[in-house]
């Protein structure tokens, strides 16, 4: 039975996240935007503690109780927290994309070995390193290599744009999942994920990027020089076969793209809520049911923003729901991500426009949200890469036929 | 509890109606558009699907099925996927039957509903729109003034489907001085003061017979008011109407997407199918995601209606979004077919003309 209503029990649980967004994230949002590479350590501790008490889980939720699946609950929580501050959301100590890769490609033993640390001890992060200076969207073209040497894999290469890379590699007892090729001649099939533990010799964070937005989130460049990891740190099967390897990268994205969509939607909702309150204070009402000829331009703009955000949200919910129900969601995850990245970029830009000179000012968070929003249109697969995936799926083309 | 799964019954209805739309409606669509006529035989076959009669209570001769806006949206999408004009014609009886079913008095239900529970198609209609550039559902100007025990109806209506073919019309008009209070009146086809004009000539929906209707001091008995002294829930009726049109917009969008997709796989340029070019592939990808987004917005409003919640805002959102999406998707389809898209040999130009109707039209379908 079709139903898109958040029931009261679920809403109560989400209210906790909303409270965190409102009372913990918003008050420090501007501070860590201005002081780009400062570390919000109190925030880390608070989020880590909240997570250990079981009341607040991010990235690896145990599920939403009997009524809501795990992925759906994750994206609902992600929207709430990203409404608070999407950069801070990315910085919450959690298994993150590295954990998602372990979940997607790892054996049960590997999941246990690598993920149980997130239930104990000090705050930790796990990151995923896939992009390189010479390749981004074309992730099959990665040049980082993993060569077998006795009981170890030896990794060499450079990775960039690794979210939480510094936290995972150097500032906590986390790990980085590095995608490297074990056989260049095998193309995509030769690409495998390797878990590189924190402080592994040969892994160096050479830079943390300066960015337009999400400035509190560390975006690291890592160099791997004869970095040795145990054989068992290769996630899944070491066998090079056409069906393996790269498919696992894609499986990771199927799980994470709905979350990125939800992050975008959280930022978009922040902007929309701000504009709504702003208009309300000025007694400007947005009236539904009237024809465009009888509406003001502001009403038309606002309605467009509101419905576009809702469309993106429903697409994201669907992608998550499918995953929770054991169905393939590759197409739907790309739809959600492409739509959310695009519309939230547009919504935040329109919100800045609607507030005139006030919108451009750093006196309000609106301009920050516009800067923050844009990343969602780029990372975890740009809008264009997601459109490409959708197009291949609906046209029935392979990546060779349509690229 | 959030769920994206149709019930088994809804899936069955969707499959049945879609198969019918593909096999029976689509092949008849072009001729219907050119001739301005929906074949009576086809209408009869659609009637047999039970999309009207099926949800009328057994006491009035119907099948007693559960009426649901989500189910109505699913069926409406599938039917319009075949052809919009034919779908609107075939479902027009709902315009009278469903408001009577939901909001009529016992007497009104007993008097009018059995007519829609027959084995043969029975035309029915409602008159909502008015010929003004700034018409909307909150600005109904037709007026039914109280006159003794009854009413006197004055006003001008347009885009009334099957007005000439129906035994009576459900006419929306203000009966109270308060702004926004709209009532519905059951007006017999032959009624002093009522004039059904010439058949309208429109850009699209050429197979659908629509008419302008004028009312000049048209005297109505008290029993003509739908729901009697209780009146109607106009917001709800308009929400249902918007959801119905929005669902049909999804059907048109999906038809255009699939046609353009198949064409892009066949048509070759520069030695390869044009679908392998990003310029075309990206258009199709956006069309596909907009079809899905459109459908989810329709279902969002529809399931609120099924829960008995107010869904006016959600219905407005669904309708405006799907109308814009349908226009854009149909336009893209014409564009992907290039010059061929502009030729009437292909259906996409017809879908573009039809799709433009969604933003303008109100109250010509319901769920």
Q: Are A338 and A273 in contact (CB under 8 A)?
A: no
A9 tagged catalytic: no
* C-alpha closest to that of B199 among B183, B214, B191, B211: B211
Domains of chain B in sequence order: 8-122 (1.10.540.10), 126-230 (2.40.110.10), 234-360 (1.20.140.10)
Q: Do A394 and B276 touch (CB under 8 A)?
A: no
Q: Count CA within 13 A, CB hemisphere, residue A250.
A: 18
pLDDT at B266 over 50: yes
Q: Are A339 and A329 in contact (CB under 8 A)?
A: no
Q: Which CATH superfamily is domain A8-94 in?
A: Acyl-CoA dehydrogenase/oxidase, N-terminal domain (1.10.540.10)
Neighbours of B231 (CB within 10 A): 16
Q: Are A140 and A67 in contact (CB under 8 A)?
A: no
CA–CA gap between residue B102 and residue B104 (Å, rounded): 6
Cα→Cα distances B323→A44, A287, B247, B290, Å: 46, 19, 10, 11
Q: Do B316 and A289 touch (CB under 8 A)?
A: yes
Q: Do B303 and A294 touch (CB under 8 A)?
A: no
Residue of chain A whose Cα is closest to the Cα of B295: A311
pLDDT at A131 over 80: yes
Q: Token pair of A372, please?
A: 């923050």
- Tell me the pLDDT tens digit for each residue of B129-179: 999 999 999 999 999 999 999 999 999 999 999 999 999 999 999 987 666
* C-alpha closest to that of B294 among B237, B248, B259: B248
- Tell me the pLDDT tens digit for each residue of B182-224: 999 999 999 999 999 999 999 999 999 999 999 999 999 999 9
Q: Are A194 and A234 in contact (CB under 8 A)?
A: yes
Select from A290, A318, A391 the Cβ nearest to the Cβ of B138.
Answer: A290
Cα→Cα distances B92→A81, B85, B245, B351, Å: 47, 10, 12, 20
Cα→Cα distances A67→A13, B228, B300, B309, Å: 12, 43, 18, 21
Tell me whether strands B168-174 and B125-127 are parallel, antiparallel or unpaired.
Answer: parallel
CATH class of the A246-395 domain in this structure: mainly alpha
Q: Do domains A8-94 and A99-233 have the same CATH topology?
A: no
Q: Which chain B positions have a beta carbon within 8 Å of A384's beta carbon?
A: 282
Position B297 scores a pLDDT of 98
Is the CA virtual torsion A213, A260, B319, B291 positive or negative? positive
Q: Token pair of B171, please?
A: 């006419």
pLDDT at A53 over 80: no
ipTM value:
0.97
The answer to whether A339 contacts chain B (CB < 8 Å) is: yes
Q: Which chain A positions have a beta carbon within 8 Å of B3's beta carbon?
A: 1-3, 321
Q: Are B249 and B237 in contact (CB under 8 A)?
A: no
What's the distance, CA B194 to chain centroid? 24
Neighbours of B154 (CB within 10 A): 17
The answer to whether A206 contacts chain B (CB < 8 Å) is: no
Q: Are A73 and A200 in contact (CB under 8 A)?
A: no
Name residue, tokens 């006003």: B155
- Tell me the pLDDT tens digit for each residue of B345-356: 999 999 999 999
CA–CA gap between residue B88 and residue B125 (Å, rounded): 10
What's the distance, CA A19 to chain centroid? 21
CA–CA gap between residue A230 and residue A148 (Å, rounded): 10
CA–CA gap between residue B116 and residue A392 (Å, rounded): 47
Select from B6, B261, B286 the Cβ nearest to the Cβ of A387.
Answer: B286
Q: Do A394 and B300 touch (CB under 8 A)?
A: no
Is the CA virtual torsion B327, A316, B305, B239 positive or negative? negative
Q: Which CATH superfamily is domain A99-233 in?
A: Butyryl-CoA Dehydrogenase, subunit A, domain 2 (2.40.110.10)
Instruction: Work out how many CB contacts closer than 8 A connect A with B.
Output: 138
Buried b (16+ CB within 10 A) or exposed e, B19-38: ebbeebbbebbbebbeeeeb
Neighbours of A194 (CB within 10 A): 25
- Tell me the pLDDT tens digit for each residue of B44-102: 999 999 999 999 999 999 999 999 999 999 999 999 999 999 999 999 999 999 999 99
Q: Which chain A positions have a beta carbon within 8 Å of B304's beta carbon?
A: 5
- Which residue out of B18, B77, B156, B362 is catalytically annotated? B362
CA–CA gap between residue B366 and residue B117 (Å, rounded): 17
- Tell me the pLDDT tens digit for each residue of A352-385: 999 999 999 999 999 999 999 999 999 989 999 9
In chain A, where the domains are located: 8-94, 99-233, 246-395
Q: Find the radius of gyration of the CA atoms of chain B.
A: 20
- CA A314, A316, A319: angle at the middle one, nearest 5? 110
Q: Do A318 and B317 touch (CB under 8 A)?
A: no
């Amino acid at each position: 039975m079709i139903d898109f209503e958040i029931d009261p029990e679920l809403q109560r649980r989400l209210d906790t996240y909303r409270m965190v967004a409102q009372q913990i994230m918003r008050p420090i949002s501007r501070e860590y935007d201005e002081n780009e590479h400062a570390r919000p350590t109190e925030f880390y501790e608070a989020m880590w503690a909240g997570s250990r008490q079981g009341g607040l889980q991010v990235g690896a939720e145990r599920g939403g109780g009997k009524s809501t699946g795990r992925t759906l609950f994750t994206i609902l929580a992600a929207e709430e927290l990203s409404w608070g501050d999407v950069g801070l959301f990315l910085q919450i100590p959690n298994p993150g994309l590295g954990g998602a890769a372990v979940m997607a490609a790892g054996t049960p033993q590997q999941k246990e070995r690598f993920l149980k640390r997130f239930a104990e001890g000090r705050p930790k992060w796990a990151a995923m390193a896939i992009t390189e200076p010479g390749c981004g969207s074309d992730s099959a073209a990665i040049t980082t290599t993993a060569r077998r040497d006795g009981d170890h894999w030896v990794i060499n290469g450079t990775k960039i744009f690794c979210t939480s890379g510094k936290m995972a590699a150097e500032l906590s007892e986390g790990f980085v999942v590095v995608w490297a090729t074990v056989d260049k001649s095998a193309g995509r099939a030769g690409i495998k994920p390797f878990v590189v533990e924190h402080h592994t010799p040969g892994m160096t964070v050479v830079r943390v990027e300066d960015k337009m937005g999400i400035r509190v989130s560390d975006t690291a460049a890592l160099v791997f020089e004869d970095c040795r990891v145990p054989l068992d740190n290769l996630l899944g099967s070491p066998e090079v076969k056409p069906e393996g390897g790269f498919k696992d990268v894609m499986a990771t994205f199927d799980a994470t793209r709905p979350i990125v969509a939800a992050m975008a939607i959280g930022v978009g909702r922040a902007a929309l809520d701000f504009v709504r309150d702003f208009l309300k204070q000025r007694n400007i009402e947005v009236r539904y049911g009237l024809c465009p000829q009888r509406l003001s331009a502001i009403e038309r703009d606002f309605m467009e923003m509101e419905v576009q955000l809702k469309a993106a949200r429903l697409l994201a919910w669907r992608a998550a729901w499918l995953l929770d129900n054991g169905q393939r969601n590759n197409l739907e995850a790309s739809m959600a991500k492409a739509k959310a990245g695009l519309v939230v970029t547009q919504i935040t830009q329109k919100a800045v426009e609607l507030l005139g000179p006030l919108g451009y000012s750093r006196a309000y968070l609106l301009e920050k949200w516009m800067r923050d929003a844009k990343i969602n249109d780029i990372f975890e697969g740009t809008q264009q890469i997601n459109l490409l995936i959708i197009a291949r799926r609906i046209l029935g083309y392979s990546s060779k036929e349509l690229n | 509890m959030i769920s994206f799964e149709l019930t088994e019954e809804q899936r069955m209805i969707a499959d049945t109606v879609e198969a019918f739309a593909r096999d029976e409606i689509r092949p008849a669509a072009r001729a219907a558009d050119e001739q301005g006529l929906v074949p009576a035989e086809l209408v009869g076959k659609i009637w047999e699907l039970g999309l009207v009669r099926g949800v009328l209570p057994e006491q009035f001769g119907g099948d007693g099925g559960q009426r649901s806006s989500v189910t109505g949206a699913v069926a409406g999408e599938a039917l319009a996927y075949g052809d919009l004009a034919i779908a609107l014609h075939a479902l027009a009886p709902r315009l009278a039957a469903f408001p009577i079913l939901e909001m009529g008095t016992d007497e009104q239900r007993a008097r009018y509903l059995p007519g829609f529970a027959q084995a043969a198609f029975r035309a029915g209609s409602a008159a909502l729109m008015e010929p003004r550039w700034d018409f909307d559902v909150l600005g109904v100007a037709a007026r039914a003034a109280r006159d003794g025990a009854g009413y006197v109806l004055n006003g001008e209506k347009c885009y009334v489907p099957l007005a000439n073919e129906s035994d009576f019309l459900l006419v929306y008009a203000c009966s109270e001085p308060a702004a926004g209070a709209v009532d519905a009146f059951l007006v017999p086809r032959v009624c002093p003061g009522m004039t059904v004009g010439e058949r309208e000539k429109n850009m699209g929906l050429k197979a659908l017979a629509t008419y302008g209707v004028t009312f000049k001091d048209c005297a109505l008995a008290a029993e003509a008011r739908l729901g009697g002294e209780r009146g109607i829930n106009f917001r709800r009726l308009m929400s249902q109407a918007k959801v119905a049109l929005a669902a049909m917009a999804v059907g048109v969008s999906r038809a255009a997407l699939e046609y353009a997709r198949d064409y892009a796989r066949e048509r070759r340029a520069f030695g390869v199918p044009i679908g392998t070019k990003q310029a075309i592939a990206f258009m199709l990808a956006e069309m596909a995601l907009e079809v899905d987004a459109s459908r989810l917005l329709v279902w969002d409003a529809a399931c609120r209606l099924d829960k008995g919640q107010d869904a006016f805002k959600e219905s407005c959102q669904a309708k405006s979004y799907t109308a814009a999406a349908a226009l854009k998707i149909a336009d893209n389809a014409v564009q992907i077919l290039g010059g061929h898209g502009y030729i009437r040999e292909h259906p996409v130009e017809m879908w573009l003309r039809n799709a433009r109707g969604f933003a303008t039209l109100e109250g010509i379908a319901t769920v």
